[in-house]
């Protein structure tokens, strides 16, 4: 009997040992999967955030882009009694580091996109179509954001989460337009920007238009989304280029034009199908139209690019170098004066205006307009 008792105890210990080992192996297997890693890191960061708390001024540590916006009134003053907003917004640079640097936190670092509903709740003053105006002062600037788009819903959620409060901090009146290319034909970023300019200006007399890639997030709120006396290249320092300007005439990523600038340079080229070339063509147009490119400092014009593979249907344009060599001869013949397209629908969503277009032809048909 004592021997049997010892054997039973011995077997029980090994049974528990193998059970514990099996549980460990299951947990390790789950954590090795990318999705589980992201979610575990997500919750770890939430706990870290609550541990660190807030600083003495009550702002979230790390430079929360939504800091200082919760106190804004949700009811607008009467427009007749509205004073003009200050020349420099008091909401800019109000973080513990004295200059707001966008804190990407769990969303961007772990590639977990916020939902549209969550972004909407975070921005209660944004109205249908992605429009906003300061509630307590008359904005000095009116800026339209034009985002060329196709199959990039994941990135769009990130951009809207950061861009809405970023713009509100600057006390500008703004609207966000997503220009969605219909069909599976090769992507044409520059032509979509021509569409965005024309459709946005039909709706409102914007004094500045920012042409914004969907995968670029601004890092410093001193990088104001307003126009200069000359065309402005805002995305001067991207993380993918080591926060340096890759070359002098680079005009890609995020750029700003007033309507006068746009007309003077005949808008953007329509014939760059696929990736590459159109940015340089636009930069050359600026020079040929007798203007020059202005830029913020490298410290201010910083952007983080959301990592992704080259999009399907947006392969490298093999003709781009030959086309660039002919820009001096073609810029007045190809641009806003030759942009033909068909608007398939215009949908006023809570966070942006979505305009779906066919850019392979210019057939005029009835447009579907939806307000959600």
Enclosing domain of residue 301: 51-371
Beta bridge partners of 345: 356, 368
Residue 57: per-residue pLDDT: 29
106 touches 42 (CB < 8 A): yes
93 touches 221 (CB < 8 A): yes
Residue 341 forms part of a structural domain: yes
Residue 163 forms part of a structural domain: yes
Residue 27 forms part of a structural domain: no
User: What is the CA 68 to chain-centroid distance, rounded?
Assistant: 21
327 touches 152 (CB < 8 A): no
Residue 148 forms part of a structural domain: yes
Block residue for tokens 């009134």? 73
Block residue for tokens 């009811």? 75
Exposure of 153 in the CB half-sphere (CA atoms within 13 A): 3
Q: Is the dihedral of CA 326, 330, 335, 338 positive or negative?
A: negative
Beta bridge partners of 188: none
User: What is the CA 362 to chain-centroid distance, rounded?
Assistant: 28
Element spanning 201, H or E: helix 189-203
Residue 77: per-residue pLDDT: 59
249 touches 280 (CB < 8 A): yes
Residue 7 forms part of a structural domain: no
**pTM score, whole prediction:** 0.79
Q: pLDDT tens, position by position, for the chain (372 residues)?
A: 554 454 545 556 667 666 766 676 665 555 455 455 445 454 444 444 433 333 332 333 345 788 778 777 666 656 677 899 999 999 887 543 334 455 555 555 556 778 999 999 999 999 999 999 999 999 999 999 999 999 889 899 999 999 999 999 999 999 999 999 999 889 999 999 999 999 999 999 999 999 999 999 999 999 999 999 999 999 999 999 999 999 988 999 999 999 999 999 999 999 999 878 899 999 999 999 999 999 999 999 999 998 766 566 667 777 888 999 999 999 999 999 999 999 999 999 999 999 999 998 643 344 455 666
Residue 364 forms part of a structural domain: yes
275 touches 312 (CB < 8 A): no
- The CA distance from 309 to 321, in Å, is 23
Block residue for tokens 């044409």? 188
CATH code of the domain containing 255: 3.90.550.10
Q: Which of 282, 271, 200, 267 is nearest to 233 (CA)?
A: 282
Block residue for tokens 């002062």? 137
**SS3 at position 29:** helix
Residue 38 forms part of a structural domain: no
Domains in the chain: how many in total?
1
Tokens of 250: 């680079």
* C-alpha distances in Å from residue 46, one per residue of 52, 100, 107, 137, 272: 10, 21, 11, 35, 44
Region for 315 from its dihedrals, namely left if φ exceeds 0, alpha if ψ lies in -120 to 50, beta otherwise: beta
Residue 23 forms part of a structural domain: no
Q: Which of 250, 205, 204 is nearest to 231 (CA)?
A: 250
Residue 54: per-residue pLDDT: 37
């Amino acid at each position: 009997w004592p021997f049997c008792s010892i054997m039973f105890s011995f077997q029980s210990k090994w049974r528990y040992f193998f059970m514990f080992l099996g549980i460990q192996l299951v947990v390790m297997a789950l954590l090795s999967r990318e999705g589980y890693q992201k979610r575990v890191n997500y919750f770890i960061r939430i706990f870290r955030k609550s541990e660190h708390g807030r600083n003495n001024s009550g702002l979230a540590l790390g430079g929360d882009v939504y800091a200082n916006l919760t106190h804004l009134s949700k009811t607008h003053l009467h427009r007749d009694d509205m004073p003009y907003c200050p020349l420099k917004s008091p909401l800019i640079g109000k973080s513990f580091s004295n200059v707001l640097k966008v804190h990407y936190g769990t969303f961007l670092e772990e590639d977990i996109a916020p939902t549209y509903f969550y972004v909407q709740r975070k921005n209660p003053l944004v109205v249908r179509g992605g429009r906003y105006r300061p509630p307590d002062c008359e904005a000095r600037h009116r800026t339209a954001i034009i985002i060329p788009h196709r199959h990039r819903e994941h990135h769009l959620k990130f951009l809207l989460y950061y861009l809405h409060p970023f713009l509100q901090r600057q006390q500008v009146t703004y609207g966000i337009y997503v220009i969605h290319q219909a069909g599976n034909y090769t992507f044409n970023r520059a032509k979509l920007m021509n569409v965005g300019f024309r459709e946005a200006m039909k709706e409102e007399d914007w004094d500045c238009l920012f042409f914004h890639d969907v995968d670029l997030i601004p890092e410093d709120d001193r990088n104001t989304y307003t126009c200069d006396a000359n065309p402005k290249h805002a995305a001067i320092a991207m993380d993918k280029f080591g926060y340096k300007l890759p070359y002098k005439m680079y005009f890609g990523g995020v750029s700003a034009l007033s309507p006068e600038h746009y007309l003077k340079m005949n808008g953007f080229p329509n014939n760059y199908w696929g990736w590459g070339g159109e940015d340089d063509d636009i930069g050359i147009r600026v020079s040929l139209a007798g203007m020059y490119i202005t830029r913020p400092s490298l410290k201010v014009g910083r952007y983080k690019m959301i990592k992704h593979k080259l999009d399907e249907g947006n392969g490298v344009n093999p003709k781009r170098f030959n086309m660039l060599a002919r820009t001096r001869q073609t810029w007045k013949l190809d641009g806003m004066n030759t942009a033909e397209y068909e608007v398939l629908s215009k949908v006023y969503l809570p966070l942006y205006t979505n305009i779906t277009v066919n850019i392979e032809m210019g057939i005029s048909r009835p447009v579907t307009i939806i307000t959600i």
